[in-house]
Structure 1
Amino acid sequence: MYDFSIIGGGIVGLSTGMALTQQYPGAKIVIIEKEKELAYHQTGHNSGVIHSGIYYKPGSYKARFAREGNAAMVRFCEEHGIEFDICGKVIVAAEPEELPLMDNLYERGLQNKLNVKKIGSEELKEIEPHVRGLAAIHVPSCGIVDYKRVSSTFARIIQEGDGDIRLGTKVENISENMDGVTIETNNGTIRARFLINCAGLNSDRVAKMTGIKTGMKIVPFRGEYYELVPEKRYLVKHLIYPVPNPNFPFLGVHFTRMINGEVHAGPNAVLAFKREGYKKSDINVKDLFETLTYPGFWKMAMPNIKEGMKEYMRSLSKQAFLRSLQRLIPELTERDIVPTHAGVRAQAIMFDGSMVDDFAIFSGKRSLHVCNAPSPAATASIPIGKAIVGQIIERFQLDGQLSKNIYINQ
């Protein structure tokens, strides 16, 4: 019998396990991951950006967690010898009609208590000599890191606290009552006093196994990237983003310098035909049928059909993708970019078609379900893990039980 079982070995599940290990030394914790390695899906395909939180609605969990997470991630990397670089970011207005949007974004940055600065084209050239822009916002607190390495360090801390990590273990069924949970897997049955669902792309399905009705469904969107050839990496010094379209829920293609020196450009955002579909050819009939028969998907898709078609053009045409990059760096040519990895974003969509924009956590009898952990989840993973532990403590206090009664080792 475990005290805590965590489904999902991505950065949020591992951060939660680390927070539990630190809050309750001696508690028996198990991480359940269906893949053969940790941080395999969204975490492993992450862009590696340490976000500032400038885009997010003031007062939202995303805004608070991003700001706190940025500082916490830097401290954690310093303490554990993980390479990172606070290189800064520019958000560029390339066209006159983007200037008011940039001003609004700048005001949002101030409301989120960030160190941001508006700069003109000359100062932009000093920071990024090859970028074309009328003006920009400079965000010095943004950085880059390898989140797989961060995740492996979280895992090491859990194991040093005698926590178990079970790889290649797929959850097949869950039964839950007021005494605990029984988790049936392909590698046997696991019993625990409490379950935390951090299953990412499959979080809604795990919640459904326990009878939780979330009113939302995970719809996968693939983000495809190109990479600058090595001899053209000099074109990007820091992180370069466009001013986002406020009517479209993605940030647009941007340039990201990776911690290993590579420079990635992207992503677009297209519907994936498989929840873990990183290739255009990846299709899962069950996943696709669920998406296409879900009314919420169509209610979301139809108003965004024009922008969605642009995204598909960028997916199908290298020239179309290049044109979107040339808005910021005009001297790029088709020879300068080559395809690289893709990621899949787990987007929670409500039945009415609204996209869940903030973190969404649901409570069961003996469980918590993290059913939407959008970007900046990697940046914010440390405060998210602590917040989940706080909700567990609050839950059991509200139930009239002492928190220590959860643990068989205390």
Structure 2
Amino acid sequence: MRCMYDMIIVGGDLTGLSAAKAFHEREEGARVLILAQSAEEAYTENNMIDTEIYARKNTVEQNLVKQGHEELYRFCDQHSIPYKKCGKLIVAKDEKEVELLHFLQKNNEDSTVLSQEELFEQEPFALGVGALYIPSAGIVDYKKVSLALLQEVKESGAEIRYDEKVKSIVEGKKSIVVETNNGAYYSKKYINCEESQSDKVAKLSDYYTDIEKFPLQRQYYAVEEAKLQHIVSPVPSALAPFLNIYVAPTFNGGMEVGSSINENHDKGNIKEFISNISSIRKASSYKGMIGTYKKAMKDVGSEEYFLEQVQTVIPSISREDLIPRFTEQDQAVITTDGQFREGFFFINGECSAHVVQIPYYGKKASFAIGQYLVNQVYEPTLLS
């Protein structure tokens, strides 16, 4: 006799675990199955909690990020996990960028535009003509968050299966069949948050997107000397909105610096990936996508560009100070018309919900995103 689950969640990262937590809170005693490729999906070493300031004011996106970070801090309090709301300074190098700070400030009433003198008072090591200060940003021991959430989800009764790669999905109005390399699973509902492959998983359910995800490898560094009290970052680059360059204090007294895009990462895999796109996309669309990706990598995909951006805001950091610490896999999301897709991207199905894209500033908002996905399974709405 086949087993029928109440919910199948494809993806074992923090968003998937958060969705399982939210579903159990809504349906106590429900049978939940999480299909994950590896146990490592749940863990991240990047400890920065960013800000919702990059999302448009009073939108679902902004509320998700803000609520997600607030719930993260509450979860840390409940589980005695260390964190620090140190705030973030987005530093402008010239008056043109100061204008951008005033534009961003409209997205967050709690943020403050600082003069050059006020910036220096806050961070003597930072260099700029002004800055935007956002007090809600912070740092957290995110590995401890992952372990605590994983334990909570297991104790609630969720079943987690690893080494699962989804091959096909048949979605009806009242049930789902998910077939993986290890067999078929049956459920009343399912959530897709397999971040790196979520667009492909959605396609298996006949939900098509106008995007491709180009693989990136982010390199993060440690600096042993402690110089900062706040997170400091340059104004985001218009060349490549997927960049996330910052310098942050750490709990051990040093600094975390992220993230460069490794231009030598998986050159063979990139060529194979581009070849695969060429075979499934019309010539006009894949050429635009690949051209956008290659131009971005040429412009920003080097250690030299990364170091230049870091030194723009913290000039005392040298190349010799940067100690490679860890890497993370990520994606640049590009539409068929050759544009970078920014922000969140959700799809609602008959009895499913899919998160196709989470912007870098929303990566730590998993508690709210998981709750949102569960709500969408029951009462689908359009994101606005």
Report the TM range for the smaller structure's normalisation. Answer: 0.7 to 0.9
| Residue 299 of structure 1, aligned match among 288, 301, 305 | 288
Maintained 8 Å contact 1:55/1:109? no
Aligned equivalent of 2:15: 12
Percent sequence identity over matched residues?
30
Question: What's the CA shift for 1:186?
Answer: 2.7
Question: What's the CA shift for 1:5?
Answer: 0.4
Per the alignment, do residues 184 and 258 of structure 1 end up closer, same or farther by CA in structure 2, a change over 3 Å counting?
Answer: farther
| Residue 360 of structure 2, aligned match among 364, 375, 381 | 375
| Residue 342 of structure 1, aligned match among 316, 327, 339 | 327
Per the alignment, do residues 247 and 34 of structure 1 end up closer, same or farther by CA in structure 2, a change over 3 Å counting?
Answer: closer
- Partner of 2:213, secondary structure, is strand
Is 1:255 equivalent to 2:247 in the alignment?
Answer: yes
* Matches of 1:139 and 1:213, distance apart in 2: 37
Aligned equivalent of 1:225: 220
Structure 2 matches for 1:194-343, cutoff 5 A? 194-228=189-223, 230=224, 232=225, 234-246=226-238, 248-251=240-243, 253-269=245-261, 279-280=265-266, 283=269, 286-291=272-277, 294=281, 296=285, 298-299=287-288, 302=291, 308-312=297-301, 314-315=302-303, 317=304, 320-343=305-328
Structure 2 matches for 1:137-156, cutoff 5 A? 137-156=132-151
Deviations 1:211-239 (A, max 9, x none): 222232222233333322x2x2x223320
Aligned equivalent of 1:34: 37
Per the alignment, do residues 18 and 81 of structure 1 end up closer, same or farther by CA in structure 2, a change over 3 Å counting?
Answer: same
Paired letter, 1:350? T
Maintained 8 Å contact 1:3/1:28? yes
Paired letter, 2:276? E
- Range moving further from structure 2, 350-359 or 244-253: 244-253
- Range moving further from structure 2, 257-266 or 121-130: 257-266
- Partner of 1:26, secondary structure, is coil
Question: What's the CA shift for 1:154?
Answer: 2.4
Aligned equivalent of 2:28: 25
Aligned equivalent of 1:406: none
- Partner of 1:267, secondary structure, is strand
Per the alignment, do residues 89 and 170 of structure 1 end up closer, same or farther by CA in structure 2, a change over 3 Å counting?
Answer: same
* Matches of 1:87 and 1:264, distance apart in 2: 14
* Matches of 2:324 and 2:309, distance apart in 1: 15
* Matches of 2:306 and 2:335, distance apart in 1: 30
Per the alignment, do residues 103 and 179 of structure 1 end up closer, same or farther by CA in structure 2, a change over 3 Å counting?
Answer: closer
Question: What's the CA shift for 1:105?
Answer: 2.0
Question: What's the CA shift for 1:387?
Answer: 1.3
Deviations 1:305-364 (A, max 9, x none): 76542313x23x4xx543332211222223211233232333433222233323222233
Question: What's the CA shift for 1:281?
Answer: 5.7
Query: Aligned pair count?
Result: 375
Is 1:54 equivalent to 2:40 in the alignment?
Answer: no
TM-score normalised by the chain length of structure 1? 0.82
Aligned equivalent of 1:2: 5
- Partner of 1:376, secondary structure, is helix
Per the alignment, do residues 225 and 192 of structure 1 end up closer, same or farther by CA in structure 2, a change over 3 Å counting?
Answer: same
Deviations 1:176-219 (A, max 9, x none): 33342222223332211111111000111111222222232222
Aligned equivalent of 1:89: 88
Per the alignment, do residues 79 and 308 of structure 1 end up closer, same or farther by CA in structure 2, a change over 3 Å counting?
Answer: same
Aligned equivalent of 1:135: 130
Question: What's the CA shift for 1:145?
Answer: 1.4
Maintained 8 Å contact 1:297/1:349? no
Maintained 8 Å contact 1:12/1:381? yes
Aligned equivalent of 1:106: 105
Question: What's the CA shift for 1:259?
Answer: 4.4
* Matches of 1:103 and 1:78, distance apart in 2: 33
Question: What's the CA shift for 1:76?
Answer: 1.3
Deviations 1:80-99 (A, max 9, x none): 21111111111111223322
Aligned equivalent of 2:156: 161
Aligned equivalent of 1:362: 347
* Matches of 2:58 and 2:287, distance apart in 1: 30
Aligned equivalent of 1:174: 169
Maintained 8 Å contact 2:211/2:334? yes
- Range moving further from structure 2, 347-356 or 20-29: 347-356
Maintained 8 Å contact 1:18/1:155? no
* Matches of 2:120 and 2:153, distance apart in 1: 45
* Matches of 2:285 and 2:255, distance apart in 1: 36
* Matches of 1:173 and 1:126, distance apart in 2: 57
Is 1:387 equivalent to 2:376 in the alignment?
Answer: no
- Range moving further from structure 2, 385-394 or 257-266: 257-266
* Matches of 1:301 and 1:288, distance apart in 2: 7
* Matches of 1:226 and 1:298, distance apart in 2: 34
Per the alignment, do residues 29 and 83 of structure 1 end up closer, same or farther by CA in structure 2, a change over 3 Å counting?
Answer: same
Maintained 8 Å contact 1:223/1:344? yes
